[in-house]
Amino acid sequence: MPTIPAGSRRLVLSLNAGSTSLKAALRDPALRLHVDIAGLDRDEASVTVDGTGAPAERALLHGGWPAAVPEIADAVARRGLRPALVAHRIVHGSALLPAARRADDALLSRLHAEEALDPLHLPRQLAVAEEARACWPDAAVVLVPDGGFHARLPHEAVALPLPAGARAAGLRRRGSHGLAVQSVVDTLPGMASGVVVHLGSGCSVTAVEGGAPRSTTTTLSPAGGVPSLTRSGDLDPEVVLRLVDADGGSVAGVRELLTRRSGVAGLSGGRTDVRELLAADDGAADLALRVFVRDVAMAVAGAVTTLDGWDTLVFTGGIGVHSAEIRERVCARLLSLRPGTARQPGIPSERLAATGLRVLAVAVDEEAVMDRLTRAAVPG
């Protein structure tokens, strides 16, 4: 685990805005407070507040996203704490943000001008940043790109097979879930050659060699790569063009279809709870899971080809950590990659482990990575 210099004892508040949740962690750099607000797309969101040495507080929150940052500010104020820096996770892969950096009005304004490039994430995450500035006007604002870990991808892993003009306009592989993968690297410093399988509301597969990325499945946004719960994953470009044509040329309408009604949801009839799908007894649920597991396993197999060896397979994300059944189904499809598994007893993960491959489920801490990157970006 990377160390924090003793002189960096400032209070840093990391705000991690997802599609329907907002997580907050306040560190000095030891964890002082953690707040998790889930279900912000519903009438009632659930709030969990954990403070060091105190029982967790649970409550319901009404008002959706506008009420989320004030709820966190209230939890911080009740403990007499005030952050010196407030860090924000930014999903949008912008040339303006190759690494964590302090944000001033000019940078925030330029990022606002790019909202049309990532309408699903950037407006929400910048709105959270603006709300946080109102709550803590004296705190420095730091933006942390989620894809920053992927900045060291080899050139052949970054370059898209497009003409030079398109590539010069910024169309390249940027990757997603970089903070989660960095958390795995921090947690498993002995991992030499690993594949990190992030399975949650968004999904990706990343190959890591010596702590650096070698390949990753997503390109410009979490919508690409392997299918996710509501996102299509990679598609033949002609499929997208035909969808746009069928929708009367509406890019916005097709974007909504591909990011909110596709993936597992598109195959299962709108269902996204993996536990429900595993318990279901119908063809649509079965097909959704078979496509999902197959595509994830194929992505793992492809990632292995970019490594010099393969010693670790790591599952992260809500599904990756909490669904043993999905892990085993993916592992079952990987047995042919490890000679000797046919002679081994046990479930698929145990058979892989018998060949010397570590198979792990690791809960990541993106906010801890944000904290470390923020302190490095703004020394003090």
Residue numbers annotated as active site: 146
**What is the rounded distance in angstroms from the CA atom of residue 196 to the CA atom of residue 152?**
16
Token pair recorded at residue 63: 């008002």
The number of beta carbons lying within 10 Å of the beta carbon of residue 281 is 6
Burial class (CB in 10 A: 0-12, 13-18, 19+), 49: buried
Nearest of 82, 121, 87, 119 to residue 101 by alpha carbon: 87
DSSP assignment of 238-297? HHHHHHHHHTTT-HHHHHHHHHHS-HHHHHHTS---HHHHHH--SHHHHHHHHHHHHHHH
Task: Give the other-Cβ count within 10 Å of 9's Cβ.
Answer: 15
Helix-helix angle 251-260:237-246, to 10 degrees: 120
Copy the structure tokens of residue 316: 């992260």
State both tokens at 37: 């607000």
* Residue 34 Cα distances to 76, 158, 336, angstroms: 9, 35, 42
Q: In whole angstroms, what is the distance from residue 13 CA to residue 366 CA?
A: 12
Rounded to an integer, what distance in angstroms lies between the CA atom of residue 197 and that of residue 186? 16
The backbone region for 344, taken as left when phi is positive above 0, alpha when psi lies in -120 to 50, beta otherwise, is: beta
Residues constituting the chain:
380
* The amino acid at 185: V
